[in-house]
């Protein structure tokens, strides 16, 4: 497993990958050390399946560049990156995949995301999957909001202020297109 820490416009980012598949990512930290600690917590207790994960062919430098662009508010798509989800249930994997399909600048409610994975009425379960998201930005859980129009929750550093910042940046960019 490789770990990388670097600075972006959103603060320090730390990520862990195995065979070019993302295991965990954390962002928005004030220091390199804080990002490393948050990554260690995110990885704690994970058990990895035997054998190799699927390789995606991206180079770490390419991923860093793409995350830097995202942090600057430039439209970014991470749908081609492999994400390892050890221990995830079938439902959790479907929610993660459906979340990854939400385009830049758009949002879905927790309830709508539940409907898209065939579990109408499971908005709270979707919220639980989002709150446990180990790879935010790549799995853009900030694009999932409350049905009332509120932001819902966000577990990244700076919480809802960061979620609002990400959504505002995407809206500004989308309006320019």
List the catalytic residues.
141
Supply φ then ψ for residue 5, to 5 degrees: -130, 135
Return d(Cα 123, Cα 128) in angstroms, integer: 9
Shortest CA distance to 16 belongs to which of 36, 31, 2? 2
Tell me how far apart the 2 most distant CA atoms of the chain are, in Å: 46
Helices 90-100 and 123-131: crossing angle, nearest 10°? 80
Q: How far is CA 130 from the centre of its chain?
A: 9
Cα 145 to Cα 157: distance, rounded to the nearest angstrom: 17
């Amino acid at each position: 497993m490789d770990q990388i820490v670097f600075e972006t416009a959103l603060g320090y980012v730390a990520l862990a990958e195995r065979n070019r598949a993302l295991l965990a990512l954390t962002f928005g930290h004030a220091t390199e050390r804080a990002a490393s600690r948050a990554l260690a917590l995110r990885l704690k207790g994970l058990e990895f399946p035997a054998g190799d994960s699927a390789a995606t062919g991206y180079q770490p430098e390419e991923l860093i560049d793409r995350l830097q662009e995202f942090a600057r508010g430039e439209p970014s798509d991470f749908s081609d990156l492999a994400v390892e989800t050890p221990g995830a249930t079938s439902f959790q994997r479907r929610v993660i995949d459906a979340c990854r399909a939400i385009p830049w600048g758009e949002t879905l409610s927790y309830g709508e995301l539940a409907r898209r994975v065939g579990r109408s009425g499971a908005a709270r379960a979707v919220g639980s999957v989002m709150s446990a998201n180990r790879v935010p930005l790549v799995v853009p859980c900030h694009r999932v909001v409350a049905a009332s129009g509120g932001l819902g929750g966000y577990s990244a550093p700076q919480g809802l202020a960061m979620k609002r910042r990400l959504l505002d940046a995407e809206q500004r960019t989308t309006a320019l297109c």
